Chain A
């Protein structure tokens, strides 16, 4: 019994760790896509932020300054995306892919030039990373048999994990309960109506991208200064794309998106667990098949359950005022 509980708790733990960047990135994508701008560039923004966080945290010795740098880097990239999509009416998917390719090259290039460690930043020692923090009453709960086990898993994560947890209801509140959120949703559905109401479509979308950059920055900083200890080349490893898939699977709504992220993260935790284990019916499954599980799951879910995804209606179309 207690073995099973432990297994479940370990799985939950692993799920939370993997889900954190996915949730943050998917919510970042939510701001952008709900305002009518496709965001394939989550991967690149996260990677850029991860590098900025690790580099600044190493040089200054403070993960907080690293976080600021990560947010600045991701926001700058989001603004480049905005320039392409809003100001120049460019192709949004291409802009996103360009950011991904650019950062896949630029981050290791800068790392190589500045730290000469073969394209990664030096290992971040204690004090340069976000450490686990104990929630109140952690010691008191630890005495209680089952509850203590459970609370022991809730406490002891780093601050960015809690930030991700808080950001879900916060984003839901912003999107559904504030004036900014109402306008944001409107501009993604029918920008000309918003324009007619006297609201500047471009400015609204730029603001959505600012929120996008902020959240991408958090996601990137989590990867290199909380979950990992330094920047490694290609450390996002497809998480940006998975986050985008989770967003679509979650139908561009905060809570379902969270659930989709948790599902993907759980699959990932499962694949780490299943490697080398012999399964009842299938026998020994190749590692690669298990590693491909989240991607296969995405395809199956998109094909089977979501059906025709109801995207924001104006998504992907640059807004040009009638002449």
Chain B
């Protein structure tokens, strides 16, 4: 994962990810070919569906917003040496927190209730990650297992709440009542209309501003504060952290809580921004995409923003693809996503030896030419 010393930065940050991404798309193309569709045409539809017209761009950015939150969540935990696979459950609970505030405090003025709901989503997400963090730090329970289990428990809890408690009376489908409009995150196209700027209608809302702000905060926190430093030291070497006067258990618990809070903010985008009510499964796997986003983005906010954009485009373009090609279902998106994670994450080192050998040969040739 860490950039090795003998690799130039541009190879590590640009060339290798690009090669891996290309490999993922070649395999995805083969899958589409096997399914009996034209892969080149499919990729064209995918790209046009993601960026081709205003509405598409709006959708892409809306998906990317959620992925930024989820990706940052994974990255913060990762810098502390923790693998938080529980982003999905934490985002689910975050949405619950935001939803509860919007449902029961919706009468308050928007200037009060919107920030309150945001804080609630972060707190609920943080609480859901705090428990696995605590169990890891104090009881030694494996964080990967506990966070996975907490995803399942969150799903069960939310189903119970939606079916039995929060469901709108006299309704079949498990949904809460709609929130007061005062609690909604403003849509970008509505806001732009106020300034007489024409922006295509899409679910893109002001959460994207929050995502950018949070990205900057995470960068400042990790690389410009004492706490961020302690967090990274624990992630690099727990023993060294102890000798430096850092208590790893506290850092682990704190890092997980922060990670959960970031994941919880997904709820702001989905629940306050788009759904305006609590529904089942509004997260739709965003926590898992966050892992890929963090990996591709090298756990850095800028990289995460770019990777989130890529996955947002995949989601939006892939949905378009399943409309246009009858042999493809919406699960094709999941296939491409899995391939991208496989090639950009697990097969990260696939091309590295060849590229390094090539660079070394070039350098030797240059040296020989200079000598002669």
Interface, chain A (partner B; CB < 8 A): 40, 80-81, 83-85, 88-95, 97-106, 108-110, 112-113, 119, 238, 241, 244-245, 248, 286-289, 291-292, 295-296, 298-299, 302-304, 306-309, 311
Contact = CB atoms under 8 A, between A and B. Distances in A.
Interface stretch (B219-227, B261-269, B340-348): B340-348
Contact of B348 (A90, A99, A299, A308): A90
B85 A97 contact: yes
B210 interface: no
Given A84-B346, A109-B331, 18 more contacts: A94-B341, A95-B346, A101-B288, A101-B337, A102-B335, A102-B342, A106-B31, A109-B335, A245-B149, A286-B164, A288-B156, A288-B159, A291-B156, A299-B141, A299-B150, A303-B135, A303-B146, A309-B142
Given A91-B1, A119-B331, A292-B152, A307 B144 contact: no
A104 B146 CA distance: 21
Contact of A299 (B146, B335, B349): B146
B175 to A, nearest CB: 17
A309 B150 contact: no
A88 B350 contact: yes
Interface residues of B, number: 50
Given A105-B335, A241-B148, A288-B156, A113 B327 contact: yes
B241 interface: no
Contacts of B83: 93
A99 B329 contact: no
A307 B157 CA distance: 26
B139 A307 contact: yes
A245 B336 CA distance: 28
6 contacts: A98-B339, A102-B334, A109-B31, A112-B327, A113-B328, A245-B145
A84 B331 CA distance: 24
A99 B339 CA distance: 8
Interface string B139-168: 111101110111011001101100110000
Contacts of A106: 31, 331, 335, 338
B146 A90 contact: no
Contacts of B214: none
Given A88-B347, A303-B139, A97 B291 contact: yes
Nearest to B343: A98
Contact of B341 (A101, A109, A112): A101
B144 A105 contact: no
Given A89-B349, A102-B339, A286 B145 contact: no
A311 B346 CA distance: 22
A231 to B, nearest CB: 13
A258 B260 CA distance: 34
Interface in B297-354: 327-329, 331-339, 341-342, 345-350
Contacts of B160: 286-289
B345 A98 contact: yes
Contacts of B334: 101-102, 104-105, 109
Nearest to A116: B327
Given A105-B332, A299-B149, A302-B146, A94 B157 contact: no
Nearest to A311: B142
A289 B152 CA distance: 11
B5 to A, nearest CB: 12
Contact of A109 (B159, B328, B342): B328
A84 B156 CA distance: 33
